Structure 1
């Protein structure tokens, strides 16, 4: 991380980080990470997480603040709030665009700003991902509301409390929350996994077949879908304590529907297929330090149903 002072960024975003290295990571574009000889220490994974968290926060806001809108309006507003132009504009309004993220410049930032595929969009999402890691979903949602949602929607809010499409709205909420909790779970469970694989693992967890399997595990005798169930569970936790709703829903999903050994086994098989070394998987993904490497090897082979090789260098 070198000698980096996080204070100027923390002042701009009105948040102080207990772990400033996470903030530094969020601001490290792949081009910059490569330049400082740490190509894996970039903001791509955080951007994936932050994208899902942003959508979950917007869905939460719309469900609880705009019960009078139809889901078609929810989807339209979600699209408007996550347009690259709007996210880029928000990044510059925060005062971050002239200096952040850290990147190797081939064009001036003013020119980059005009492009749909620019580093400021991923910078925004990565910052959201970093806040999620640092503060959790409730505080991250408040930050997103203040800086992204309220500037567009607050003046249009109404005092109407009647919910116009109860089931459809709860499904919309459940879908966004499910994506966010899956991303959050995988970020922590599979550290260091490249962003593209991280995304593919999320698709694996939320594929049609997987969702059908989760639905089959429901104890309910009703025919409601799984995303509706997630929405209802989240809302029940929200009514008890909004601050804990996301974590409680994630823990419920993981404990009731995921076989973590299977998740790890599937992930390791895919990473081996991608030619990642066994040693890297043991140290980075399974989290075994050098002094515990032998235990890590045994864990690796246990997961893969193999007998451990006696060669400590394998």
Structure 2
């Protein structure tokens, strides 16, 4: 077995039944131009990996964020399954040093190029899926994706807090406060419930694995409520 392929297996803790799939996953199209004996590059795996990643992240979000609206889930998935995020994950596992590149691509910095790294991560995901199946693929992804998902959730949720503040100010009010309503569960798996209040009236409640996350979900609930009230007010005036 190619020593680089063996090293990569050890690094990601995934041992392939068909190591050839892993070799194809790290083979860039530019490599074939200089190695005519090679028959396959990673673009087909990249195509499959894009779909597998999208489905896996969608499943994770659906399962772990039961209170999130479809629009929020879509935004989070888009923030996670994108070139910068995938390239960052590829760098974390040192995927660049294992790529098979053409000499020109290598000399021009291809091992660090975000587009190449993101494509290779997608191809790697597909290779694991074909060789190990869905559950093992998800296990691999969650080791690296949890932090990215948390960052994306916080980013999208911050948008809701900003949106809530804008809606409140538009209605001539300013005071928005968040209160922790309850905290339950063991230390390693706590659930926090927070409420968001305007003039001491609770407009939204949300739960999460952290106080910050629960506050962010409460803001989302309040935004959705205020929007519904605006629609109802418009209807009553027609």
Greater strand share, 1 or 2?
A: 2
Q: How big is each residue's C-alpha offset from its partner over 1:50-78, in whole Å with a ceiling of 9 and x where there is no partner?
A: 11000000000000001111111111111
Q: Summarize the alignment of residues 1-314 of structure 1 with structure 2, pairs less than 5 Å apart.
A: 4-5=2-3, 6-38=5-37, 40-97=39-96, 99-107=97-105, 111-112=109-110, 118-147=115-144, 149-154=145-150, 159=191, 160=207
User: Could you tell me the TM-score, scaled by structure 1's length?
Assistant: 0.45
Give the direction of change, closer, same or farther, for the CA distance of 1:141–1:36 in structure 2 (3 Å limit): same
Checking the alignment, whether the CA contact within 8 Å between 1:88 and 1:113 is kept in structure 2 is: no
Shift of 1:153: 3.0
Q: Contact (CA 8 Å) 1:17, 1:134: kept in 2 or not?
A: yes
Larger radius of gyration: 2
3-state DSSP of counterpart to 2:104: coil
RMSD: 2.8
Question: 1:195-249: per-residue Cα shift (whole Å, max 9, x none)?
Answer: xxxxxxxxxxxxxxxxxxxxxxxxxxxxxxxxxxxxxxxxxxxxxxxxxxxxxxx
Change (3 A) 1:66 1:16: same
1:64-98 Cα distance to aligned partner (Å, 9 max, x none): 0011111111111111112211111110110122x
In 2, Cα distance between equivalents of 1:38 and 1:137? 32
Unaligned runs of 5+ in 1: 162-314
CA 1:60/1:101 → structure 2, altered by over 3 Å: closer, same or farther?
A: same
Question: For the Cα contact (< 8 Å) 2:25–2:45, is it kept in 1?
Answer: yes
Q: Which residue of 1 aligns with 2:195?
A: none
Following superposition, the deviation at residue 141 of structure 1 comes to 1.4
Report how many residues are paired. Answer: 158
Provide the secondary structure at the position in 1 that maps to 2:120.
helix
